[in-house]
Amino acid sequence: MRERSPKQKVAEFHRAVRSVLEPLADAERAAGARAYMRDKFDYLGISTPARRGAAAPLIKAFKPSDAAELRKAADGLWKMREREYQYVAADLLARCHAVLSLEDLPWLLDLAQEKSWWDTVDCIVKVVGKIVRRSGVKGQRAMNAAETTPGGCGVQWDVVKRRRNPLGAQRFDQRGSARQVGEQQVIEVAVRIAILRRYRPA
């Protein structure tokens, strides 16, 4: 049997996602979700458990051969009208983040700005945080480079210090106070700030 091309594989994945979600659409629930999100997005009207239950087998079966294939799959879902497809993309990125690298940070930060709201930003922040954390010093430098727009508050990497607790780190906020938080939390805060600073209007 002829092997599918990456383009065919991604297209089939998109069709499969549509085929399992569309039958679950609920107009009344969709209207409520749209109102809750201040009319910013359209919805199919599918609950989170139902959506994940339907899409999980497809996400599990989709094994991207490289970062480019994963980006195409996520981008295609992100462009679909209803919000549930962006949620599926977020779940896909969360499962397959291991194929992504620091080279994909600009794409992820850009993606966070498309159809941006707290729900999808939260998901992308966690994915970026995992990439940055496993990349060590290079990850820290990449996040510093991502903060290219001046202004706004900042979490500086030079104050992200390990303490006695191997998962502890020191973070200073705008008031100069400090508190102990997990290293992953510090990274995620820095990612959020990078997103805000990178795209803050002049």
The CA distance from 190 to 147, in Å, is: 9
pLDDT at 188 over 80: no
Mean pLDDT of 62-80: 97
* CA dist list (Å): 132 to 32, 53, 137, 148, 157: 36, 29, 9, 17, 12
The mean pLDDT of the chain is 78
CATH of domain 1-99: 1.25.10.90
The CA distance from 18 to 20, in Å, is: 6
pLDDT at 72 over 90: yes
Between 75 and 184, name the one with better pLDDT: 75
pLDDT at 35 over 80: yes
Instruction: Tell me the pLDDT band of 81, cut-offs 50, 70 and 90.
Output: very high
Phi and psi torsions of 4, nearest 5°: -70, 145
H helix intervals, 22-82: 27-36, 48-61, 67-79
pLDDT at 42 over 70: yes
Lowest mean pLDDT: which of 94-98, 142-146, 156-160? 156-160
Number of Cβ within a 10 Å radius of residue 187: 25
pLDDT in tens, 82-119: 999 999 999 999 999 999 999 998 898 888 888 878 88
CB 45 within 8 A of CB 27: yes
pLDDT in tens, 168-179: 333 334 333 334
